[in-house]
């Protein structure tokens, strides 16, 4: 259980800067190249949990890589290569300071807001008479401002994004268009696997040449929520919880143990046995989302493996 990567301190050829995100380490290299390491850190309610989840970084990186390949014909992305199971290398971009969240169903954060009596989210109206996990008449885009380290992401409307000059109207129209196209493609991919893509978030950046591209992860269980198609309608009619594939199961466990990332709350203790169940769940997510058997990478010395693979790639 100790064979996880929860932090990194590499010195790659041409390295200029390193940024430590919630779950990713981003190394800026020369020639406008970025190297991103997907760690095994787990973030929920914008708080990083104290223990790593075995194979989580590999799972997220490999799902994101496959999904980028599966969508590059409709939306350009930053990715150039994946020399290691936990590593992606791509074009350096200036990230837009918004996350493009799109929801096909009234679940998660939207459902929690709805239960509080709210019928407007990010300037978008939610119909009356819905129950949790109902499908929206059409997918809604509910952006969030990207938090600086330690702060919660915040809902924001399209109008406020433009009014505050966070994104220009010209660029925002492109972000919305790309978001809808990616969600449609993701929905089609999920349907082939017997899944429903419920909601997800996309992040975009602009290259030095001025091209808007998809960055970060895409359609992973950390950035997306999936339901199983089989039994969805029956469970809705009976008012039962949906069988889902996402890290919502971690959030629900935290809520049950008195933690929602609020001030004064402490992260509950996660036993090794519980950590192992979370790892198993992520492997299940991988196999369902990709339709492929998960092959565990060698984790006897993850840092050494990454370093050797990256050096070999650049040579």
Give the Cβ contact number of residue 138 at 10 Å.
7
Domain assignment present for residue 204? The answer is yes
Regarding beta strands 93-95 and 98-105, do their DSSP bridges make them parallel or antiparallel, or are they unpaired? unpaired
Mean pLDDT, each 10-residue run in order, the chain (315 residues): 82 92 91 94 88 94 96 97 97 94 95 95 96 97 77 85 96 98 97 95 95 94 91 96 82 90 90 91 91 95 95 92
Specify the CATH number for the domain of residue 221. Answer: 3.30.470.20
Residue 159 in tokens: 């109008």
Quote the pLDDT of residue 22. Answer: 85
The tens digit of pLDDT for each residue in 218-234 reads 999 888 999 999 999 99
For 170, what's the count of Cα atoms within 13 Å in the CB-facing half-sphere? Answer: 4
Quote the pLDDT of residue 1. Answer: 43
CA distance 156 to 261: 20
User: Does the global pTM surpass 0.75?
Assistant: yes
Domain assignment present for residue 210? The answer is yes
CA distance 19 to 240: 42
Domain assignment present for residue 167? The answer is yes
Quote the pLDDT of residue 244. Answer: 78
Domain assignment present for residue 173? The answer is yes
Domain assignment present for residue 31? The answer is no
The tens digit of pLDDT for each residue in 101-124 reads 999 999 989 999 999 999 999 999
Domain assignment present for residue 162? The answer is yes
Domain that holds residue 183: 95-249
**Number of domains forming the structure of the chain:** 1
Domain assignment present for residue 150? The answer is yes
Sequence-ordered list of residues with C-beta below 8 angstroms from that of 197, at least 6 positions apart, any chain:
104, 183, 186, 187, 189, 190, 219, 224, 225, 226
Domain assignment present for residue 82? The answer is no
H-state helical runs in 87-192: 108-115, 158-163, 169-192
């Amino acid at each position: 259980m100790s064979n996880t990567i929860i932090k990194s301190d590499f010195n790659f050829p041409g390295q200029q800067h390193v940024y430590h995100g919630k779950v990713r380490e981003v190394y800026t290299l020369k020639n406008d190249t970025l190297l991103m390491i997907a760690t095994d850190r787990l973030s929920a309610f914008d708080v990083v949990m104290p223990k790593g989840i075995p194979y989580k970084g590999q799972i997220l990186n490999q799902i994101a890589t496959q999904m980028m390949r599966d969508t590059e014909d409709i939306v350009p992305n930053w990715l150039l290569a994946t020399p290691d199971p936990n590593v992606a290398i791509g074009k350096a971009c200036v990230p837009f300071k918004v996350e493009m969240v799109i929801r096909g169903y009234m679940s998660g954060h939207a459902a929690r807001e709805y239960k509080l009596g709210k019928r407007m989210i990010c300037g978008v109206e939610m119909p009356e008479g819905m129950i949790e996990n109902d499908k929206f008449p059409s997918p809604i885009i509910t952006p969030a401002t990207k938090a600086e380290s330690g702060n919660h992401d915040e809902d924001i409307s399209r109008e406020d994004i433009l009014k505050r000059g966070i994104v220009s109207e010209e660029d925002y129209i492109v972000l919305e268009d790309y978001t809808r196209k990616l969600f449609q493609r993701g929905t089609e991919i999920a349907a082939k696997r017997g899944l429903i893509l419920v909601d997800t978030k996309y992040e975009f950046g602009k290259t030095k040449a001025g091209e808007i591209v998809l960055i970060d992860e895409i359609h992973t269980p950390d950035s997306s929520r999936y339901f199983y198609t089989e039994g969805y309608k029956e469970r809705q009619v009976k008012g039962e919880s949906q069988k889902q594939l996402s890290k919502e199961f971690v959030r629900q466990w935290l809520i049950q143990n008195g933690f929602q990332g609020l001030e004064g709350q402490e992260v509950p203790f996660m036993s090794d046995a519980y950590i192992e169940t979370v790892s198993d769940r992520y492997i299940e997510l991988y196999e369902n989302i990709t339709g492929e058997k998960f092959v565990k990478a060698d984790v006897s010395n993850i840092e050494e493996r990454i370093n050797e693979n990256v050096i070999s790639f650049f040579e």
